[in-house]
């Protein structure tokens, strides 16, 4: 047997341990643990029927047990999923430790509101949040320092990076060592190029920035984990320009470091303060992102009201499907007396009526 097909050493009583690094359709790419150095083992696995029956989902980042693998054919079957330390739905990643947000200082330039949306979404995961500013070589030192000072006021210490010149790449690799990190940010800021720098063997497809729209072209299609040379895993996620903020209005203050700093020094007069027009509010003020906060609170309130209205609508309406597949709502009948009798019930009632007539 060649070195490529030598079995790894992470065998337990239950099977071989590994990490799911990619999910496509009903197949899972599992990197098997090794106690020794490379070569690494990667198996294309399916999920045991037992897991399907109990509804056990398998996610990127899951620690799994693989039974009776075929080393020559590089195939296997996942028989168990170990308990998760953390779990995210969007993007679907398990056991993550950190969110790395990548933005660009130029081409495309930073949109402060878009950056705030990404930061709030990252903070809502309750993971450690790291902020990286790529393409720093395309702007002058004065502009770089202005952005750095500005973001420190927000509560973040950004890492200046230039993937093109490799400036700051070593520092970034040290920050990510031995952690499972989710890479996120708008399209076109250099996420795929960052992965190529950190993991040269990854060979991630890179696209440029649209000259017409001044936005990045989407290149990542699914979540995938890449192993960092110095330890740790990096999850690439599909790029998007406007992450959905699905948190409740009351939760938003937790995701603004500026608000938390102010509440640590002073409390508001009312415990349920929304930090808008309430008297003696410790948060309301002239800090830069206060307008962002007000805008996001309004969005969250509208979204909450829409959900409540949808819930009320679904409680009084029933979803029906026509033969052509078209769906529509019809009112639910509140009382049984308004419902159409079944044929069996109609026949039974007719028999009872005939018996009553015979008795007359």
Please report how the helices 191-198 and 169-176 are oriented relative to each other, as an axis angle in degrees rounded to 10.
80
Q: Find the CATH number of the domain harbouring 28.
A: 2.40.50.140
CATH assignment of the domain containing 270: 1.10.40.50
CATH of the domain at 152: 3.40.50.300
Domain of residue 113, residue span: 93-236
Q: Residues 300, 275: one domain? A: yes
Whether 226 contacts 233, CB under 8 Å: yes
Residue 219, pLDDT score = 46
Full DSSP string of 66-135: EEEEETTTTEEEEEEEPPPS-EETTTTEES--EEEEEEESSSSPP-HHHHHHHHHHHHHTTSEEEEEEE-
Q: Same domain for 45 and 97?
A: no
Residues 174, 308: one domain? no
Residue 298 resides in a domain: yes
On whether residue 29 sits in a domain, the answer given is yes
Q: What is the number of structural domains in the chain?
A: 3
**Alpha-helical regions (H) of the chain:** 49-53, 112-124, 141-154, 169-176, 191-198, 257-265, 290-316, 343-359
**For residue 231, what are its two tokens?**
């330890």
- Examine the domain organization and report whether 70 and 124 are in the same domain: no
Task: Tell me: do 227 and 101 sit in the same domain.
Answer: yes
**271 lies in the same domain as 180:** no
Q: Is the dihedral of CA 336, 338, 342, 345 positive or negative?
A: positive
Domain boundary among 203, 236, 269: 236
Q: At what angle do helices 290-316 and 112-124 cross, to 10 degrees?
A: 60
Please state, in angstroms and as integers, the Cα–Cα distance from residue 47 to each residue in 20, 80, 118, 131, following that order: 12, 9, 33, 36
Q: Buried b vs exposed e over 160-169: b needs ≥16 C-beta within 10 Å?
A: bbbbeeeebe
177 plus 98 within the same structural domain? yes
Regarding whether 45 and 116 lie in a shared domain, the answer is no
Shared-domain flag, residues 167 and 198:
yes
* Residue 199 shares a structural domain with residue 103: yes
Of 82, 113, 142, the last residue of a domain is 82
Does residue 352 form part of some domain? no
Regarding whether 220 and 103 lie in a shared domain, the answer is yes
Q: Where does a domain end: 35, 50, 82?
A: 82
pLDDT per residue of the chain (360 residues) written in tens, 0 to 9: 444 444 555 556 667 899 999 998 889 999 998 755 545 688 999 999 999 899 899 999 999 999 888 888 899 999 999 999 999 887 889 999 999 999 999 999 999 999 999 999 999 999 999 999 999 999 999 999 999 999 999 999 999 999 999 999 999 999 999 999 999 999 889 998 999 999 987 665 444 444 444 444 444 457 889 999 888 999 887 655 567 888 899 999 999 999 999 999 999 999 889 999 999 999 998 999 999 999 999 999 998 888 887 766 556 666 666 655 566 666 665 545 545 667 777 777 777 777 666 665
In a domain, 253, yes or no: yes
């Amino acid at each position: 047997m060649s070195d490529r097909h030598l079995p790894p050493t992470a065998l337990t009583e239950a099977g071989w341990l590994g990490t799911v690094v990619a999910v496509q359709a009903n197949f899972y790419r599992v990197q098997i643990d090794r106690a020794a150095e490379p070569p690494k083992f990667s198996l294309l696995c399916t999920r045991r029927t037992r897991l399907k029956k109990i509804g056990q989902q398998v996610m990127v980042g899951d620690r799994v047990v693989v039974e009776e693998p075929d080393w020559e054919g590089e195939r296997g079957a996942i028989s168990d999923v170990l308990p998760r330390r953390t779990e995210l739905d969007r993007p679907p990643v398990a056991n993550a430790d950190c969110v790395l947000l990548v933005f660009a200082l130029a081409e495309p330039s930073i949109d402060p509101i878009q950056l705030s949306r990404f930061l709030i979404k990252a903070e809502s995961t309750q993971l450690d949040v790291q902020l990286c500013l790529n393409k720093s070589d395309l702007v002058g030192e004065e502009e770089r320092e202005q952005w750095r000072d500005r973001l420190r006021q927000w509560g973040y210490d950004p890492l200046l990076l230039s993937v093109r010149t490799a400036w700051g790449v070593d520092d970034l690799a040290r920050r990510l060592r031995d952690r499972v990190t989710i890479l996120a940010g708008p399209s076109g800021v250099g996420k795929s190029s960052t992965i190529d720098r950190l993991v040269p063997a990854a060979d991630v497809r890179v696209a440029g920035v649209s000259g017409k729209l001044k936005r990045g072209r989407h290149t990542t299609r699914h979540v995938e984990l890449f192993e960092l040379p110095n330890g740790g895993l990096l999850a690439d996620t599909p790029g998007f320009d406007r992450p959905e903020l699905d948190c409740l209005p009351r939760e938003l203050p937790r995701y603004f470091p500026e608000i938390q700093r102010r509440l640590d020094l002073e409390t508001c007069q009312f415990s349920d303060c929304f930090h808008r027009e309430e008297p003696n509010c410790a948060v309301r003020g002239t800090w830069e992102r206060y307008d962002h906060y007000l805008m996001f609170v309004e969005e969250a309130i509208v979204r909450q009201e829409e959900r409540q209205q949808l819930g009320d609508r679904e409680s009084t309406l029933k979803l029906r499907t026509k033969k052509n597949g078209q769906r529509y709502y019809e009112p639910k009948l509140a009382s049984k007396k308004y419902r159409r009798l079944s044929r069996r019930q109609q026949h039974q009632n007719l028999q009872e009526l005939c018996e009553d007539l015979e008795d007359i």
